[in-house]
Structure 1
């Protein structure tokens, strides 16, 4: 049976850099093995902001109008043919996993579907035609990508299962997770971790590291207010504020860039009391900025791991000889795979994670006011001077 139009609905559509329009679009009945979800909460993340400001995110450039948003939760409003066997029911509260894997490639077969070459990801311009995201009233999505919510997890908290999944995946790559050890008894958390970037992703990295038993958590940023927030709310044990970038004293050669990165890293390590140790056992780079990526290697001790989580800089000069001779593993970390069950379980049972995630949501907006939300994120502070960490589409329901 062919899909039919149910009604018109409101969607927020990006047509180009800073060209965000509120439009009326058709909502169709869900097709085979799909479920329709009334989206109750959607978080705006750094990739959404990159698309809004520049019409692209790294290598992925907008080729057609696109609905942004991929951190979402809502209520099941319709169940397509074949999807009933998945056990969902009308009115059920669910989280939406944005990526749709092909299920037939070698990466999907190995359980690394985040690397699937044919994956379609809601709100990403990586593939064309683009797959619309969650900044719309309702959306149809495969039942395999829908996850039931525990009773004590709100829509707003569940929407943050997506960025939490990014950090769960990175933590597995770094070995900072009981699930990444050969056996639960074999898991030994690292003594120290340094997180570059104290935005929402960086703060989640700090929170998750604490949950996984890391003894000393340190955060670095250029924004003093964010660092004060991280310290005051227990995300980090100590923080270090980088000096603002100077246009007059900008390094002109590669050697100067790397020398400057080493100096800044050493200053942070001295501040943290890690200089004699040679650095931290794990470093999470959550900014995507070239100077911070360079610093991440110098912040790592011999034999440590550096996780590249932030995106933004397309081409980066790295001190690879320094990393190679000290056996510092530089690991990419892209999205996530099979993390939603763990993310939702953490939100349901771990009070520290749930409480600290709630603290990240600083501003809430109606769907029609998303342009204001993006402009606010770009500024970093609201009209009252309050810091902006995480903006969300407004949610009236618990």
Structure 2
């Protein structure tokens, strides 16, 4: 089998997406060749699109974005067993760890220092993302889909995995136990999915907060939360740490009052924005002995009221991507345990020619008709 030419949506600079033809070799012995059918856009994709960087990670060569993806197998590597066939429908787990370091061997492969993650510029050469017609991917990191699970739903398995992993991070102290009260800061796709996982874990109250009333209303209406609270941004942007902490305390007071535990707070708080003031709010809004899970990716250096956490024994737990989550995610979507999951996808664009429009829409909160924008999908037609 020889190499073939495929088309890809390639980011060459700030908001500079082009359709390029690239050469795709045959799949390696342990690889599958996959026609990509669906890619949903993530916040990190948008950062690269708008800034050609993600925090201190700089893009140094053209790169195809996209990593929340699914597709269909079109060719099977020579060394793979009969477990794989042309026509298999798969969800893609797009992070490839080294599998040899102590971290990988301990099961925490998401923390592997040698991780190569599609659409991330952290590794060089960059590992191109899934906004391509066809890709080669190791079979080990492809997950077969039940026939009734759509490609769009399968793409959401990636952000759902983030939510599964973050809720698992509370298991060490039982903060997310049946009957618990959960606070979620940030009602984007990941925040909504964290709410869904909190519900499946038995939480009795799931309170979600955002500056966007449309998103909190959506969360409650579609069953991702039991209560939504809008916390508007301050009239004046805080400049000093004292001003920031004052706003965080005020926001936390509003949230804990809603929780019904003034002076205490939620059993588990999931901070899904990465914003400094929101992380500060999360510390103040979590009950003594509870857990604050840092899910959102924010600026590398933040000023936090650590003593407020230490003196109340609030555990601050990091959560980075995911590991060992796809089987659980597939079971959840296969059984329909999140009934309105696909409603998170509010807009769909078809073909590589519309990828630029998809990125423009994903950067907005509402479309021209006033409809809410949450998750945008790029759907690829069958060849």
TM norm structure 2: 0.95
The aligned runs of 1:27-176 (5 Å cut-off) are 27-82=24-79, 84-85=80-81, 87-175=83-171
Counterpart check, 1:311 vs 2:309: no
Question: Is the Cα contact below 8 Å between 1:74 and 1:155 reproduced in 2?
Answer: yes
CA distance in 2, matches of 1:245, 1:59: 27
SS of corresponding position for 1:37? strand
Counterparts of 1:369 and 1:312, CA distance in 2 = 29
1:211 paired to 2:200: yes
Q: Which residue of 2 aligns with 1:250?
A: 237
Q: Deviations over 1:308-357 (max 9, x none)?
A: 111132221111011011111111100111111110111101x241x221
* Separation in structure 1 between the aligned mates of residue 237 and residue 44 of structure 2, nearest angstrom: 27
Which of 236, 245, 269 is the matching residue for 2:225?
236
Equivalent residue for 2:354, pick from 349, 369, 380: 369
Any idea what the Cα deviations from partners look like across 1:126-178, whole Å, max 9, x if unmatched? Answer: 111110110011100111101111222111111111000011111111129xx
> What is the rounded CA distance, in whole Å, between the counterparts of 1:251 and 1:39 in structure 2?
44
Aligned residue pairs total: 380
After the TM superposition, which residues 338-349 of structure 1 pair with which residues of structure 2 at under 5 Å, given as runs?
Answer: 338-349=324-335
CA distance in 1, matches of 2:285, 2:82: 46
What is the TM-score of this pair, normalised by structure 1? 0.92
Q: Deviations over 1:20-73 (max 9, x none)?
A: 111121222111311111111111011111111111122322111111111111
Q: Secondary structure at the match of 2:35?
A: strand
- Are residues 1:273 and 2:273 paired? no
* Residues 156 and 395 in structure 1, CA contact (< 8 A), matched pair in contact too: no
Q: Which has the higher helix share?
A: 1
Which segments of 5 or more consecutive residues in structure 2 lack a partner in the other structure?
none
Q: How far does residue 86 in structure 1 lie from its aligned partner after superposition?
A: 6.8
User: Aligned partners of 1:268, 1:299: CA distance in 2, in Å?
Assistant: 7
Gaps of 5+ in 1: 182-186
Tell me, in whole angstroms, the C-alpha distance in 1 between the residues paired with 2:242 and 2:367.
39
CA contact (8 A) 2:272 2:294 kept: yes
Secondary structure, in 3 states, of the residue corresponding to 1:67? coil
Which residue does the alignment assign to 2:16? 19
Contact 2:241 2:303 (8 Å CA) reproduced: yes
3-state secondary structure, aligned to 2:44: helix
* RMSD between superposed Cα atoms in Å: 1.7
Alpha-carbon distance in structure 2 between the residues aligned to 1:26 and 1:396: 20
1:284: Cα distance to partner?
Answer: 0.4
